[in-house]
């Protein structure tokens, strides 16, 4: 790797000064430059006119996620460069991408995104090192201590490559089940301590990067999964397991919309002594009030360091049919964009350490202590049982498409349509997964079974379909071969 001298300070994003990494010549290697760091927060100046300028006023960042294919998409790059100061690779730094074969690391796709981002003054979040999905194919043949060793080697190999370059790493992703216990996975089967081993390994590999635990459905404070993660972080802090931050993915769907207690969740995590961040935000139909609310909640919590949306335009989204992002397919900002911008500019707290001088923050850290009450054991919203149909029997159809696939699995989407004249009150789709395939995750639907023929019925909020209406659900499959599932049937009661 060639050393590239650090560039002198220059101004970006309005009045906030960033120490920039330098301009990169080639997209093949990661340049040896310091991580750009936020230097100065100042709430007294004029409002920012871009997301990043507005966020930087309070020492925060505003990020997006991009796939490698967006490097050839000038529409995307233009908005990214103008509005964002943090970047996450959608798939390119995941375990299957970075270590496709045991001991053979491949950083070309991740480096291309990294190099573009830092050469445009952005910092980069690493995503992710250990996860039950998108694993290298060879992990499927390992278990026990061999898999544990492979995970440790993977973390060491990837973190050595990016040492000193990244602002954050999502060390472990999505390790909890909805009921607040650990998700069962091959990594979990190596022993309950796999998560802390991952964090200790990561700390030794790159002591300078902030190490995060990242998950979805942990935004509602009273939800069992939130409490499960909270208890783990609390335990880690008590025992000195190195952890710096919690990423709340903030995927808001019709079934899990912005909870009224979101700020309490953020401040409760922060009170444990970790930073919090909204790492993959998207909201069904970009509901303005939810985007405003999630931004405001972050701005009200000093240790909420930034917000990332999972894509920029609806055409970049993993759930594009729900139009969940801040920019439409023609690159126009939506009403939600303005709401977010205004909420960023209205921030009344700054991130500790970003206001200079003095070196101590002017804002007060949250004084509330985390509750000691036992977390609820059931989710606050459970899908209701399916009501009887008033539509024509057999009027529903299911159409499958593969959204994305990789070495060890794929993301699928099924569109459920009502082709009858009446209203469909509830639906169930049956799919047959090929041998060796296991369902890892479903959204906008509720599954029964994870292998062979599985069924997915409507969630609480998308069972009712008027004449000619349709809805979609999505899912992830871990697979040895990526044969698409057969759609067996769609029925309505
Ligand atoms: O956006 C990613 C999509 O392209 C992939 O198909 C999918 C496969 O796992 O992963 C998506 O990103 C996920 C992220 O890594 C973790 N949280 C949920 C995101 C959306 O599924």
Residues contacting 298, CB < 8 A, separation 6+: 60, 266, 276, 278, 304, 306, 307
Closest CA to 38 of 167, 225, 179: 167
Long-range contacts of 16-20 (CB under 8 A, 24+ apart): 16/40, 16/41, 16/42, 16/53, 16/56, 16/57, 16/59, 18/85, 18/121, 20/118, 20/121
Q: Average pLDDT, stretch 418-441? A: 89
- Ligand 1: which of 69, 310, 482 to mutate, most ligand atoms within 8 Å of CB? 310
Please identify, by atom number, the ligand 1 atom nearest to the C-alpha of residue 65. 1
CA 132 to chain centre: 14
- Tell me the average pLDDT of the chain: 86
- The pLDDT confidence band at residue 356, using thresholds 50, 70 and 90, is low
| DSSP class of 357 | S
| DSSP class of 32 | B
Does the beta carbon of 135 sit less than 6 angstroms from any atom of ligand 1? no
Q: Specify whether the CB–CB gap between 184 and 141 falls below 8 A.
A: no
- The per-residue pLDDT for range 364-382, each reduced to its tens digit, is 444 444 444 444 343 434 3
Which H or E run includes 430? strand 428-432
Which of 56, 99, 174, 413 is catalytic? The answer is: 174
Strands 428-432 and 168-173: unpaired
What is the Å distance from ligand 1's center to 14 Cα?
32
Q: What share of the chain is helix, strand, coil (3-state, %, to 5)?
A: 25, 25, 45
What is the Å distance from ligand 1's center to 90 Cα?
7
- Ligand 1: which of 89, 90, 216, 251 to mutate, most ligand atoms within 8 Å of CB? 90
What is the Å distance from ligand 1's center to 449 Cα?
21
- Model pTM? 0.76
Q: Average pLDDT, stretch 319-339? A: 97
Phi, psi (5° rounding) for residue 383? -60, 135
What is the Å distance from ligand 1's center to 363 Cα?
35
> Is the backbone peptide bond immediately before 465 cis, with ω within 30 degrees of 0?
no
- The per-residue pLDDT for range 206-226, each reduced to its tens digit, is 999 999 999 999 999 999 999
Which H or E run includes 196? helix 194-205
- The per-residue pLDDT for range 41-73, each reduced to its tens digit, is 999 989 999 999 999 999 999 999 999 999 999
């Amino acid at each position: 790797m060639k050393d590239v001298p650090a560039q002198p300070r220059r101004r970006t994003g309005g009045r906030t000064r960033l120490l920039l990494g330098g301009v990169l010549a080639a997209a093949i290697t990661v340049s040896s430059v310091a991580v750009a760091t936020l230097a100065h927060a100042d709430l007294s100046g004029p409002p920012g006119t871009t997301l990043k300028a507005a966020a930087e006023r309070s020492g925060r960042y505003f990020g997006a996620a991009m796939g490698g294919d967006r490097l050839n998409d000038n529409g995307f790059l233009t908005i990214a460069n103008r509005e964002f100061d943090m970047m996450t690779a959608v798939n390119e730094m995941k375990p299957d991408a970075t270590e496709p074969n045991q001991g053979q690391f491949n950083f070309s796709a991740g480096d291309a995104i990294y190099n573009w981002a830092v050469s445009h003054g952005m910092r980069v979040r690493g995503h992710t090192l250990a996860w039950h999905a998108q694993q290298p194919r060879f992990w499927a043949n390992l278990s026990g201590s061999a898999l544990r060793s492979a995970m440790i080697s993977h973390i060491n190999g990837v973190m050595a490559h990016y040492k000193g370059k990244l602002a954050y790493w999502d060390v472990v992703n999505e390790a909890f089940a909805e009921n607040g216990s650990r998700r069962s996975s091959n990594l979990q089967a190596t022993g309950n301590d796999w998560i802390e081993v991952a964090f200790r390994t990561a700390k030794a590999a790159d002591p300078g990067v902030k190490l995060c635990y990242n998950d979805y459905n942990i935004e509602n404070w009273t939800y069992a999964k939130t409490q499960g993660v909270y208890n783990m972080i609390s335990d880690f802090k008590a025992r000195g397991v190195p952890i710096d931050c919690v990423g709340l993915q903030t995927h808001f769907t019709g079934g899990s919309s912005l909870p009224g207690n979101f700020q309490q969740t953020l401040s409760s995590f922060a009170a444990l002594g970790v930073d919090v961040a909204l790492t993959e935000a998207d909201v069904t139909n970009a509901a303005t009030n939810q985007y405003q609310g999630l931004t405001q909640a972050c701005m009200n919590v000093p240790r909420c360091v930034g917000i990332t949306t999972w894509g920029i335009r609806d055409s970049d989204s993993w759930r594009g049919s729900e139009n969940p992002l801040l920019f439409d397919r023609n690159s126009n900002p939506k009403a939600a964009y303005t709401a977010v911008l205004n909420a960023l500019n209205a921030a009344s707290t700054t991130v500790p350490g970003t206001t200079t001088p003095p070196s101590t923050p002017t804002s007060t850290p949250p004084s509330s202590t985390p509750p000691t009450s036992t977390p609820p054991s059931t989710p606050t919203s459970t899908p209701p049982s399916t009501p009887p149909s008033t539509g024509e029997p057999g009027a529903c159809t299911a159409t499958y498409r593969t959204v994305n696939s990789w070495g060890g699995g794929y993301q699928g989407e099924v569109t459920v349509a009502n082709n009858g004249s009446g209203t469909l009150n509830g639906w169930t789709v049956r799919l047959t997964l090929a041998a060796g395939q296991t369902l890892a995750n479903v959204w906008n639907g509720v599954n029964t079974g994870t292998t062979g023929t599985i069924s997915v019925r409507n969630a609480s909020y998308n069972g009712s379909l008027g004449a000619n209406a349709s809805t979609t659900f999505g899912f992830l499959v871990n697979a040895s071969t990526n044969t698409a599932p057969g759609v067996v049937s769609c029925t309505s009661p």
